[in-house]
């Protein structure tokens, strides 16, 4: 049995990119010579159970269902950290010679892409920020504080699913882009604060325009005609990025552990721009 345990928390694990991340994590346990424990977080209990049974064979899985990101932060972080404590107290993890801990923040929503910034309501801004930033920031804080108390911890990673929109503005993406930028910046601050702790690294990863349900929603709803055409062309020409492919590239970065802490890395930085 491996003497190294690796505990992952994957939010938004029941579908799309989150599901692919779970799949790749589980597939690579043997190659990385570690026992992998994956905490799957999401809203849909049945969906999480299906992911655990079909995508995560060979790894130990634990479900944290019924997580609604718009709820008060303590109602989100509480159940997740309780499950993390439960896993860390398992004899197989507690007795491991080294423990790695990774938080994969994949959960999130797009904003109303039919609107420009001057059309947002106060409630819309408040609700979107609670779902996509407050929950992310609170979980990052609590995870880091707990992970640093694990005596055998030799790697502590926080990975944020970011976007090109975090660094480049596009019309109709006001809320989405600004929250992605805020998430990136929080992890840059974490990296700076832990520059003398080699265990801790943060990464913001932009997975590209994905071939998934969210991208279909983008094509259907975005109010900017130029972007609608560009995304529709990418879809028809099969140039959208497969979720399994980009999840694999993200996991490569984390497994290799050579990225600069706090970095923003785009999928096209790795594979090059499409023709």
Q: What is the pLDDT of residues 88-97, one digit of tens each?
A: 999 999 999 9
The whole-number pLDDT of residue 220 equals: 86
Read off the pLDDT of residues 150-166 as tens digits, 9 standing for 90 and up: 999 999 999 999 999 99
Phi/psi at 66 (5° precision): 60, 30
Whether residue 113 is predicted with pLDDT greater than 70 in this model: the reply is yes
Angle at 259 between CA 106 and CA 163, to 5 degrees: 35
Alpha helix locations (H) across the chain? 16-27, 45-55, 73-88, 91-94, 122-129, 135-147, 174-193, 213-221, 225-236, 243-256, 267-271
Which strands make up the sheet holding 263-266, listed edge to edge? 60-64, 35-41, 4-11, 98-105, 153-161, 200-206, 263-266
Portion of the chain with pLDDT greater than 90, in percent? 83
Domain ranges of the chain: 4-209+243-267
> What pLDDT, on the 0 to 100 scale, is given for residue 1?
45
Q: Please name which of 131, 193, 210, 125 lies closest in space to residue 158, comparing C-alpha atoms.
A: 193
Closest CA to 69 of 102, 105, 39: 105
pLDDT for residue 260: 98
Q: What is the mean pLDDT of the chain?
A: 94
Output the CA–CA distances (angstroms, integers) from residue 77 to 69, 107, 129, 146, 220, in the order listed: 10, 14, 16, 12, 33
**For residue 249, is pLDDT > 70?**
yes
Give the CA distances from residue 51 to residues 13, 46, 216, 237, in Å, rounded to whole numbers and listed in that order.
8, 9, 22, 29
Query: Would you place residue 267 in the very low, low, confident or very high pLDDT band (cuts 50, 70, 90)?
Result: very high
| DSSP summary character for residue 132 | I
Mean pLDDT of the 103-122 span: 94
Contacting residues for 3 by C-beta, under 8 A, at least 6 apart: 96, 97, 98
> Looking at the predicted structure, is the pLDDT value of residue 221 above 90?
no
pLDDT at 2 over 90: no
**Packed helices 213-221 and 225-236: angle between N→C axes, nearest 10 degrees:** 140
pLDDT in tens, 15-37: 999 999 999 999 999 888 999 99
Instruction: Enter the DSSP assignment of 149.
Output: T
- Per the structure block, which two tokens stand in for 65? 């269902």
Alpha-carbon dihedral sign for residues 178, 184, 190, 196:
negative
Q: Which of 108, 233, 232 is nearest to 173 (CA)?
A: 108
pLDDT digits 0-9 by tens, 54-77: 999 889 999 999 999 999 999 999
User: Of 16-25, 80-89, 221-230, 257-266, which range is least confident?
Assistant: 221-230
Q: 4-209+243-267: which CATH architecture?
A: 3-Layer(aba) Sandwich (3.40)
Q: Is the dihedral angle over the CA atoms 210, 216, 221, 226 positive or is it negative?
A: positive
Q: What is the mean pLDDT of residues 248-252?
A: 97
Q: What percent of the chain has pLDDT over 70?
A: 99
**Cα distance between residue 72 and residue 60, in whole Å:** 29
Provide the 8-state DSSP code for 260.
P
**pLDDT score recorded for residue 128:** 96
Angle at 102 between CA 211 and CA 1, to 5 degrees: 110
46 three-state secondary structure = helix
């Amino acid at each position: 049995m491996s003497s190294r345990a690796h505990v992952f928390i994957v939010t938004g694990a029941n579908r799309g990119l989150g599901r692919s991340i779970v799949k790749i994590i589980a597939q690579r346990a043997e190659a990385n010579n570690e026992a992998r424990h994956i905490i799957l977080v999401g809203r849909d209990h049945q969906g999480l159970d299906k992911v655990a049974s079909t995508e995560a064979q060979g790894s130990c899985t634990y479900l944290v269902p019924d997580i609604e990101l718009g709820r008060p932060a303590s109602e989100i972080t509480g159940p997740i950290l309780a499950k993390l404590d439960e896993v860390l107290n398992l004899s197989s993890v507690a007795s491991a010679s080294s423990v790695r801990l990774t938080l994969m923040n994949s959960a999130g929503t797009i904003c109303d892409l039919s609107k420009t910034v001057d059309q947002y309501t106060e409630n819309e801004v408040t609700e979107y920020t609670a779902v996509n930033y407050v929950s992310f920031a609170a979980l990052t804080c609590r995870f880091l504080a707990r992970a640093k108390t694990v005596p055998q911890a030799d790697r502590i990673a926080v990975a944020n699913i970011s976007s090109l929109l975090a660094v480049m503005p596009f019309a109709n993406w006001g809320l989405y882009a600004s929250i992605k930028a805020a998430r990136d910046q929080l992890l840059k601050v974490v990296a700076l604060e832990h520059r003398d702790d080699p265990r801790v690294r943060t990464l913001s990863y932009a997975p590209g325009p994905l071939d998934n349900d969210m991208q279909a929603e983008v094509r259907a709803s975005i109010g900017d005609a130029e972007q609608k055409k560009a995304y529709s062309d990418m879809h028809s020409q099969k140039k959208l990025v497969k979720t399994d492919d980009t999840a694999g590239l993200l996991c490569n970065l984390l497994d290799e552990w050579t990225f600069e802490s706090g970095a923003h890395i785009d999928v096209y930085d790795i594979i090059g721009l499409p023709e």
